[in-house]
Amino acid sequence: MTGRRPTRAGRLPSVPKSGETLKLGAEYARVADPASPGKAKPMRMRAAVMRLWHILHTPEGRKLVRYSMVSATSALFALTVLTLVYGVLRLWTEVPSAFFSNVVAGFVNYFLNRKWTWGKSGRSHLWREVAPFWVMTITGIVLALLTASLARRFSNAHHLSHLTRTLVIDGANTSAFGIIWVVKFMILNRIFQPFPVDKVEVDTEPGPQGPTEQIV
């Protein structure tokens, strides 16, 4: 009897077809290859998370985290004031209410960023710190007033209820300050740096403790 030799169980081994062979080979290559799409994506995600983790533990990364927390606190404070004066008390219309809430939140944002995010203490410098900060804040307020005006027109055009109007104006106000969030961080990172020493004079006359330095 000619042909293939029977196996121990007395049955001939099955030979996979050509299509099945290619399928099994591709499956083996996918599992065996560490750079396969199934494994490469989690590895890339893990590497991205590790890079972000290292960035957040740098001095600039810690500033960014604290700045984000202060921004979120200020935005929540502004929304609370805006909801109170416009939604609950109904003191003013959309635009004056947005202006008042953002000005109040600006003071909170300034002191928290200066003292906590950048660790500055002492009196604020009018032209190096206060003025640039409020220029950025007023720019954000103007943008917020523009979005508030657009929100008012949208609400009037669609005949929205007072509750829905409040939600629309809150969303417009938050969007306005989100636009300048990154630019504001870059500018604050410059204006809240320690001031350079203007002039250093060295007294060469020996005293009890030797030469002394006087900072002017």
* Pairing mode of beta strands 200-203, 212-215: antiparallel
Prediction pTM value: 0.59
pLDDT at 173: 80
Q: Judge whether residue 188 has pLDDT over 60.
A: yes
- Of residues 52 and 208, more confidence is placed in 52
Least Cα distance to 109 among 81, 84, 149 occurs for 81
Question: pLDDT tens digits, residue range 92-119?
Answer: 988 899 889 989 999 999 999 999 999 9
- Evaluate whether 88 touches 123 at the Cβ level (below 8 Å): no
- Of residues 29 and 88, more confidence is placed in 88
Question: pLDDT tens digits, residue range 5-49?
Answer: 555 555 555 544 544 444 444 444 444 454 555 667 778 788 778
Confidence category of residue 139, pLDDT binned at 50, 70, 90: confident
- Evaluate whether 176 touches 146 at the Cβ level (below 8 Å): yes
Neighbours of 136 (CB within 10 A): 17
Q: Give the Cα separation of 210 and 175 in Å (integer).
A: 60
How far are the Cα atoms of 89, 139, 164 from residue 153, in angstroms, in the given order? 21, 21, 13
